[in-house]
Structure 1
């Protein structure tokens, strides 16, 4: 009987050993799996972070390239410039001045038959007007954009023929109509080659 009891006890110890080994193995496997999952999650988070960082940088670079392309296109815009002179004296009031002798018309934006310059592109433009008047008379010329007077130039003297010039910087939109008129101030716009003809000129400084 004692021998039988000893065998039973030994068997129980064997089973306890086997069960304890199984529990330890299972726990160890769980720890390893948890560690692997944690590593995988860390790698996945790192990959996601790198992906979004790369995509963000790529998006910024794309925007920069597009901006540079646009700027380059504006810088490469065909030049626009004109110079026209008035070869006939104009007296009285309420005239739009037709500067009839075209010396330069790069871009063909000035129309001598009407005296108009029509902007072909949005941009910053520079215009100059030279006006002349005879002794005891004066004239005021008005630089006009569409229907608005944006600048004036005065010429005249009580004792001498006199010429004067002014330069204007104007931001225009494509299609804006620019011309010179003489409305009601003064009454004599002198055209004489001896002094240099009255003139109207303009140039595109920068497309916008």
Structure 2
């Protein structure tokens, strides 16, 4: 009789335990572990101030991840630009030129990193969009003058004047421009002055340029 009584009590306890589990728990069929019922869990979280804090933190993290992704992409682009090969050239003219309306062909290359200056055509072709620095040195004999024009494509963008009544004079000038890839840059002499003096020992007249920054 006592054994049956004990068995009945145990059965009742198991039943009560099962009911309790059904109310507040759900069995994870994959792991076999008990987990809090989703509805009960959601209600408890909605009443919990920490839940709102967690949501805010998650939103902030989402925003931070988006900003970090944009920053990474910007750094990748900047890195690719910084890795662009150097571009620089220096050319000189070894023979004196007289008269007017000349495209200036410099016949001695001292430097041509990137091979963007074309000796046969007397021009520099920008290999990439960027900021470029150019220098022109012009010289003229006594009682003569010369004006050299720096030209981009077909537009004159700068001029250098050299000349003196009594002395041989040289003038150097720098030019800073933003160029697009494929822009054609060269030096010409149109109608002002008639004598471009050359002295190979001193390395003038000369034309030089370099890429400062890729854009």
TM bucket (normalised to shorter chain) is 0.7 to 0.9
Aligned 8 A contact 1:163 1:195 in 2: no
Shift of 1:77: 1.4
Cα distance in 2, alignment partners of residues 146 and 134 from structure 1: 30
Cα distance in 1, alignment partners of residues 80 and 195 from structure 2: 45
Cα distance in 2, alignment partners of residues 115 and 172 from structure 1: 18
Instruction: Determine if the alignment matches structure 1 residue 84 to structure 2 residue 91.
Output: yes
- The structure in which a higher percent of residues are helix is 1
Secondary structure in structure 1 of the residue aligned to 2:150: strand
Secondary structure in structure 1 of the residue aligned to 2:110: strand
Instruction: Determine if the alignment matches structure 1 residue 66 to structure 2 residue 87.
Output: no
Cα distance in 2, alignment partners of residues 60 and 194 from structure 1: 58
TM-score by length of 1: 0.77
Alignment root-mean-square deviation, CA: 2.1
Instruction: Determine if the alignment matches structure 1 residue 99 to structure 2 residue 109.
Output: no
Aligned 8 A contact 2:93 2:200 in 1: no
Aligned 8 A contact 1:89 1:191 in 2: yes
Q: Which runs of 5+ in 2 are unaligned?
A: 1-38
Cα-to-partner distance string for 1:63-119 (whole Å, 9 max, x where unaligned): 111111211222221100000001122111111101111010000000011111011
Partner of 2:176: 169
Partner of 2:139: 132
Secondary structure in structure 2 of the residue aligned to 1:104: strand
TM-score by length of 2: 0.75
| Aligned partner (choices 193, 196, 205) of residue 200 of structure 2 | 193
Partner of 1:207: 214
Larger radius of gyration: 1
Secondary structure in structure 1 of the residue aligned to 2:198: coil
Instruction: Determine if the alignment matches structure 1 residue 51 to structure 2 residue 58.
Output: yes
May I ask how many residue pairs the two structures share in their alignment? 175
| Aligned partner (choices 122, 143, 149) of residue 142 of structure 1 | 149
Matches within 5 A, 1:15-26: none
Cα distance in 1, alignment partners of residues 100 and 186 from structure 2: 16
Secondary structure in structure 1 of the residue aligned to 2:139: strand
Aligned 8 A contact 2:140 2:197 in 1: yes
Aligned 8 A contact 1:81 1:201 in 2: yes
